[in-house]
Amino acid sequence: MSDNSSILGIDYGGRTKGTVALAWLKEDLICAYQCSIKEDADVYINQFIVDNKIKLVAIDAPLSLPIVYTNKKLGNDYHYRKADRETKAMSPLFIGGFTANSMSFRAQNENIKFIETFPSHFLRIIEIKKPKGDYNATINLILKKLNYKFKLNNIVETPHQFDAICCLLSGIRYTEKITLCFGDELEGQIFI
């Protein structure tokens, strides 16, 4: 998959809370979108996927549970997956509603490749601090550090849009086969 316009980055939050954001690359422009409060984010995302022929979704939300829930012989940790421990992510159980929603969303879109990513660890890996305000300046710094020539199409206004852009960049890195992979394939992996 070499067409970056077929990649969607999603910061997946509350389905109707206005905390879901998308990032997409149109030509060389990074476009960030935010779902509004009370808007069904899954409906919005599904329509976006269809309209833009998305083939890969890089999502900031757990896409699996610890392996002990599916095979007690392969694990004994009821709280964390190996990927969570390696990236210092929250337990999928602690954020159970988000985990259930993201797993359900992926199940409804079986024809699309999903990868789990984690913007906080992405920033740790590339040694850039998460911004407290000027998101655009930090994104431009990230793009320069990763040697990407993309430009921002709009002003990034929320931390959700910022995280969605980090997800998009992890998705692009995945297609370029330069991501770092954390966790176990049987249990669930996080790609940075």
pLDDT of residue 17: 79
d(CA 72, CA 88) in angstroms, rounded, equals: 23
Phi, then psi, of 188 in degrees rounded to 5: 140, 140
30-83 pLDDT, tens per residue? 999 999 888 888 899 999 999 999 999 999 999 999 999 988 889 899 999 999
**Which of 57, 189, 163 has the alpha carbon at shortest distance from 114?**
57
Per-residue model confidence (pLDDT) at position 61? 95
- Residue 1 in this model has a pLDDT that exceeds 50: no
Centre a 10 Å sphere on the Cβ of residue 149 and count the other Cβ atoms it contains: 7
* CA dihedral for 102, 184, 84, 135, sign (positive or negative): negative
CB atoms within 10 A of CB 116: 28
Q: How far apart are CA 91 and CA 73, in angstroms?
A: 20
pLDDT score for 18: 79
pLDDT at site 78: 94
Q: Which residues of 160-176 are buried (b: 16+ CB within 10 A; e: fewer)?
A: bbbbbbbbbbbbbbbbe
Can you give the pTM of this predicted structure?
A: 0.94
Q: What are 147-191's pLDDT values in tens digits?
A: 999 999 989 999 999 999 999 999 999 999 999 999 999 999 999
Average pLDDT over residues 107-136: 94
pLDDT at position 55 is 96
* Per-residue pLDDT at 91 exceeds 80: yes
Give residue 2's pLDDT: 54
Which pLDDT belongs to residue 36?
87
Residue 143 has pLDDT above 50, yes or no: yes
Label residue 14 by pLDDT band (50, 70, 90): confident
CA distances to 67, 77, 129, 136, 184 from 124, rounded to whole Å, are: 26, 25, 7, 18, 21
